[in-house]
Structure 1
Amino acid sequence: MLFITLRQYSSNHWRMAMRHCRYTTASCPASSATPLQPDRPIGFVSLVDQQVPYDKGLDIQTFLVNRRHQLNRQDANDTGDPEDIIVFLQHPPTYTAGRRIRGKTELEQEQRLRRLGADYFETMRGGQITYHGPGQLIAYPILDIRDYQINVRCYVSRLEKTIIDCCKQFGVEANTTENTGVWVGQDQKIAALGVHLQRYVSSHGVALNCNVDLDWYEHIVPCGLADKKVTSLSEQLNRVVTPSDTLPILRQSFERLFQVPLQPINPEGQLASEIKSIIAGGK
């Protein structure tokens, strides 16, 4: 089951969103993402060469979500960068709790996880507790899903199929199960997924295990599934596959599954400058 968090205008929107929380990938066909402007690219920001603190990652997402809403209110985008943005990055060792257990984690458990040398955050994404850290490729798409003519359920399905397609390019056969995320077989999770939407604009996203240290997962019950394991591309292939190795393949998978080109943002532009300022602590 996937738990998606949404902030919409009314309780009717909330109830409608919750009806989409039980789904199977097969319920959304491969052609379900049809962009209204297929030639309009999604911009991307690559920060995989550094470890961005999780709270800075949240600040970047908040900034980009607000930017997307502001662009929705304007007649034209004159920023020089695409309206929709995907941020690719790595985090330092961090445990995060989703909405299902937000406010329910005992202080002793939080302190225990922090003593391991990891950060701990409660977030607005769906799901329970998971781990992020070096060797894991994170993708945070900040998209207005209406521009792709898909509902919440099919947006999540797009993300899952994007990860499955990426894994396939490496020769790893991945799939979905009744549990959220992307799996190898029925009991080895290779990618976690948690989504938050605010007035149709997405944040949070997917985390694909490349060469992450799997020992960090031994200290939690990932996503509340005690009888399941966690795996990585490196473990499956018996060779080191880094986030830098994976990024160009994942970008291509995004392009195929969302049917739009991805282009890097202008490294000298205002958007890049704002993101650098956030990471440096200026916002």
Structure 2
Amino acid sequence: MNTISSDSVTSTALRRRCYLYQLGQIPYLEVWNWQRQLVEARKQNPGLPDVLLLLEHLPVYTLGQGASLEFLKFQTDSTVELHRVERGGEVTYHCPGQLVAYPILNLNFYQRDLHWYLRILEEVVIRVLALYGLPAERIPGLSGVWVEGRKLAAVGIKVSRWLTMHGIALNVDPDLTGFTQIVPCGIADRPVGSLAQFCPEVRLEVVQQQMATAFATVLGLDLLPIEGRDPTAG
């Protein structure tokens, strides 16, 4: 298992305050708009705390900014919700039962290194899966986190002026049939999997808290839980 020690990560940054929003099922466009507002606010005021959004999406497909339509198995004029967004990577699928994490971080306070940041996001998932005794790993040349050849978590980011948006999608216990309508992340020869396939009794609300704790540990964050649905309101 390829991991990063907590000391090697947290020593790169002063402890940062981070607002934590643990939300429910929210339409994709609503959260996408929140992310852009949060990033813009931090461009105007770099001293604002970081933000971590943890949530589920209603069924939706998203394409990275350079993603190819050849990886879709449906027509783009169909009733399926599909959005091209500014993250990297190919097409992916979000639905209930999948835990999505959107960190809005100012990498000027960590490391201005996109490869480092991608590995950090993977490390968060690896640590969560380790709690279930799963030997999660990275595969050279491919992003995301894998268990026994199945991709359990996808990673896609956008960074502007070293402010991050988008993030991680971990399949906890989703209906995986939605992935059959695409070539997930453009990888045709490796299956998508879920945590529930290995741990049938897993509960998403528990995994959500475990992911928050893993973020705090790996990045050296002081998490400040915030009540409320709209993180741009306060």
Settle same-fold status: TM greater than 0.5: yes
Unaligned segments of structure 2, at least 5 residues: none
List 4+ stretches of structure 1 deviating above 3 A. Answer: 32-36, 102-108
Mapping of 1:20-99 within 5 angstroms?
30=6, 31-34=8-11, 36-38=13-15, 40-48=16-24, 51-72=25-46, 83-99=49-65
Q: Any conservation in 2 of the 1:135–1:242 contact (CA below 8 Å)?
A: no
Mapping of 1:146-157 within 5 angstroms?
146-157=108-119
Offset of 1:32 from its aligned partner?
Answer: 3.5
Task: Report the residue type matching 1:60 in the other structure.
Answer: W
Q: Answer with 1 or 2: which has the greater Rg.
A: 1
Task: Report the residue type matching 2:35 in the other structure.
Answer: Q
Unaligned segments of structure 1, at least 5 residues: 1-24, 276-283
Offset of 1:151 from its aligned partner?
Answer: 1.3
Q: Any conservation in 2 of the 1:33–1:150 contact (CA below 8 Å)?
A: no
Q: TM-score, normalised by structure 1?
A: 0.75
Offset of 1:260 from its aligned partner?
Answer: 1.9
- The answer as to 2:210 corresponding to 1:249 is yes
CA RMSD of aligned residues (A): 2.4
Q: Any conservation in 1 of the 2:74–2:181 contact (CA below 8 Å)?
A: no
Aligned residue for 2:40, secondary structure, equals helix
Q: Any conservation in 1 of the 2:125–2:170 contact (CA below 8 Å)?
A: yes
Q: Percent identity?
A: 32
| Richer in strand (by share) | 2
Looking at structure 1, the residues matched to 123 and 72 of structure 2 have their Cα atoms a distance apart, in angstroms, of: 35
Deviations 1:43-102 (A, max 9, x none): 111113xx2111111101001101111212xxxx5xxxx610011111001111112326
Number of corresponding residues:
231
Mapping of 1:57-206 within 5 angstroms?
57-72=31-46, 83-101=49-67, 109-112=75-78, 114=79, 118-178=80-140, 179-185=142-148, 187-206=149-168
| Richer in helix (by share) | 1
Q: Any conservation in 2 of the 1:33–1:149 contact (CA below 8 Å)?
A: no
- Aligned residue for 2:222? 261
Q: TM-score, normalised by structure 2?
A: 0.89
